Amino acid sequence: MDINELRNLINYHSNLYYTLDKTEISDFEYDKLMSELKRMEAEDPSLITPDSPTQRVGGKILEGFESVHHDVRMESLNDLFSKEEVIDFGKKTEEALGEEVEYVTELKIDGLSVSLEYRDGVFFRGSTRGDGDDGEDVTENLKTIRSIPLKLTEAVPYLEVRGEVYMPHKSFEALNKKQEDLGLEPFKNPRNVASGTLKQLDSSVVASRKLDIFVFNIQQIEGKELKTHKEAIDYLHSLGFKVSPIKEVFHSIEDAFSEVINIGERRGELGFDIDGAVIKVNSLAQRATLGSTAKYPRWAAAYKYPPEQKETKLNRIVIQVGRTGVLTPNAEFDPIRLAGTTVSRATLHNLDFIREKGIKIGDTILVQKAGEIIPEVVRVIHEKRTGNEKDFDMPLFCPVCNAPVYREENEAAYRCSGTSCPAQLARNVIHFASKGAMDIEGLGPAVINQLLDNKLISSAADLYYLTMEDIIPLEKMGQKSAENLISAIEKSKENDLSRLIFALGIRNIGQKAGKELAKRFPSLDSLMSATVEEICACDDFGLIMAESIKHFFETEQNVAFIEKLRQAGVNFLSKSVPTGSLFNGKTFVLTGTLPTLTRSEASKLIEDNGGKTSSSVSKKTDYVLAGEEAGSKLEKALKLGVPTITENEFLQMLNISD
């Protein structure tokens, strides 16, 4: 590719990582792209442009945090990929100094670089690296990391250190277990989680994720003279910091590189991710002499490890049904040792991934660990095919409950259609009982999991058959709690049909759609017998939504579930018929904070009088009901000439104003 295409590709991946906290390629692949761009620009400096990725460190300031200027620039490191490049780095360093050089090696932690500042030994500010010159103030979030000392062992007048925040493997695995329990997609790698977590606006979320840090450099210090980096690291350790371990000083670049290789061989045993090792000049005076280029220091470089890859035989592809009903194909292969652990399974994501990679059962495949954690199939070794390999296709029926499997247009995932599928049961019951659905007070995830573990329910419908005797023995339950829960379950039977429709968990049908259906169809039975065309006649309904409803009610398992609700006495009738017609055919958009009404109260008044609400402003909007701190919606309404009204004007329209 030409240099402009390469720049665009690097900028694309840089934006994903630095701004959106996402990745599509490994660090090693990204660093190779950057290295190639540097080579092309070095060969012809006239090709260098001001907006080239090589002319800046990277990253953007995100909204939500105050900006912090770094008095000492937080530089990036020059990346090296071979022994020859490392030896050349040492040779140039020694030639520039004209004297002997000592080197130290450190782990290159795979996380988020931060600055920690102390005044008189007390932590007062922490910030992200940002673009190297300006970062974001994340002090409160950093305070949740227990390995960051809030008070040092000495009252140093002023100290700024640099460290790398990361997520240990144990924390990452625990977080992904929690994600799976909630039916959510697991995170891909610890580095992205650490970066995203540190930018959370809620510090309690940061605290719950148990991040850690290694401190690896003094940026500025007052009241202390230090001669070497090794001495500085030892001093930081004495102050109470968790520091990057430096075992010894090396007197030649060859010995330093040998230690880099040793670190690489041990990286699977560390308990956290590294993506390389750093070689630094030990003498601080020599560092000052060497200085920095416009992009990185001349006294340090990072050796990047390629991902460890191994061949193995794919024996079979098995289907795992997630808590959201998604069927995920998983590869089972001959066990191999990667990054310190033995692995024998890897996700294949979906059928599109399998087709794209050309994977067949019986293939010899190349496997690596993404982010040193999650095994992934890199590619098929086509030259080792024997002709006995077999194509794979997704099953027509769920392997757990035998309900039909479906795939919606423009979606990669295949899903189980069963409401009572054991694989997704916990999520379904949690949704059924949630506030926006049947609103069963006191029936949270902890109680639901106990009911499932004790085999007291096998579907949400079984909630209506529970007794006091079933509930009292549960943990943290007693007579009064059991009475309250039974009462809440009983009360939910009288809910409007709109809540029940939403509670069923029909694909593509949310709360608003449930309300619209309850207005159009007087009972659940009339909705069940409706045609796709009749459902499409509802406001804002399309073919995909209508077919989702029709498909749901054609599934035998779901029909049995609904019949169980009927026998329990759950209301199947609509109470959503408007009591007035003042707003018939009118669409309202609500924005800002109203003086006395909540959003839900205002929406109910609109719907009770025949109107409807929308989340976005368009030329079809009839009124924008605006309160305090109304933002872009109000601006758009004014631009389009849509009438805007206050709460008082709204109540006057209803003739209920003071």
Q: What does the DSSP assignment read for 333-365?
A: EEEEEETTEEEEEEE--SHHHHHHHT--BT-EE
What pLDDT score was predicted for residue 58? 41
Alpha carbons 421 and 386: distance in angstroms, whole number: 39
Do residues 633 and 615 make contact, with C-beta atoms less than 8 angstroms apart? no
Burial string for 321-332 (b: 16+ CB within 10 Å, else e) reads bbbbbbbebebe
550 is an active site residue:
no
What pLDDT score was predicted for residue 392? 95
For residue 645, CA distances in Å to 571, 590, 605, 655 come to 37, 10, 15, 15
What pLDDT score was predicted for residue 283? 96
Instruction: Specify the pairing of strand 587-591 against strand 623-626.
Output: parallel
Per DSSP (E only), the strands in 305-421 are 309-321, 326-338, 341-347, 364-370, 374-380, 405-406, 414-416
Instruction: Specify the pairing of strand 341-347 against strand 326-338.
Output: antiparallel
> pTM score > 0.75 for this model?
no
Give me the catalytic one of 32, 60, 108, 199: 108
What pLDDT score was predicted for residue 445? 86
What pLDDT score was predicted for residue 610? 80
Residues 6+ apart with CB under 8 A from 233: 216, 243, 244, 246
Q: Which domains, and CATH codes, for the chain?
A: 3-55 (1.10.287.610), 67-304 (3.30.470.30), 309-384 (2.40.50.140), 416-568 (1.10.150.20), 587-653 (3.40.50.10190)
Instruction: Specify the pairing of strand 134-136 against strand 67-69.
Output: antiparallel
The stretches in the chain having pLDDT less than 70 are 14-22, 50-51, 55-64, 180-185, 323, 339-340, 370-373, 576-579, 656-658
**Per residue in 55-98, pLDDT tens?**
544 443 444 678 899 999 999 999 999 999 999 999 999 999 99
Residue whose structure tokens are 């761009």: 37
Do residues 256 and 279 make contact, with C-beta atoms less than 8 angstroms apart? yes
Alpha carbons 172 and 370: distance in angstroms, whole number: 13
Alpha carbons 303 and 257: distance in angstroms, whole number: 9
Alpha carbons 403 and 421: distance in angstroms, whole number: 8
Sign of the torsion formed by the C-alpha atoms of 261, 112, 70 and 29: positive
Alpha carbons 297 and 288: distance in angstroms, whole number: 10
What pLDDT score was predicted for residue 312? 95
What is the CB neighbour count within 10 angstroms for residue 595? 9
Token pair of 192 as six digits: 């992205």
Q: Burial-class residue 24 by CB neighbours within 10 Å (0-12, 13-18, 19+).
A: exposed
Do residues 608 and 621 make contact, with C-beta atoms less than 8 angstroms apart? no
One-letter amino acid for residue 203 of the chain: S
Q: Burial-class residue 265 by CB neighbours within 10 Å (0-12, 13-18, 19+).
A: exposed
Sign of the torsion formed by the C-alpha atoms of 368, 370, 376 and 380: negative
**Per residue in 173-193, pLDDT tens?**
888 888 766 656 677 778 888
Token pair of 183 as six digits: 């039916």
Both ends of the chain: CA-CA distance in Å?
70
Do residues 365 and 332 make contact, with C-beta atoms less than 8 angstroms apart? no
What pLDDT score was predicted for residue 340? 63
Alpha carbons 618 and 614: distance in angstroms, whole number: 10
Do residues 358 and 332 make contact, with C-beta atoms less than 8 angstroms apart? no
What pLDDT score was predicted for residue 383? 94
For residue 517, CA distances in Å to 95, 511, 521 come to 79, 10, 6
Alpha carbons 542 and 656: distance in angstroms, whole number: 36
Per DSSP (E only), the strands in 454-547 are none
Nearest alpha-carbon partner for 314 in 329, 295, 298 = 329
Alpha carbons 405 and 192: distance in angstroms, whole number: 33
Run of H or E including 17: helix 3-18
Alpha carbons 605 and 152: distance in angstroms, whole number: 59
What pLDDT score was predicted for residue 22? 64
Residue whose structure tokens are 């098929």: 380
H-helix segments, 594-631: 599-608
Nearest alpha-carbon partner for 489 in 449, 432, 436 = 432
Sign of the torsion formed by the C-alpha atoms of 183, 187, 190 and 192: negative
What pLDDT score was predicted for residue 57? 46
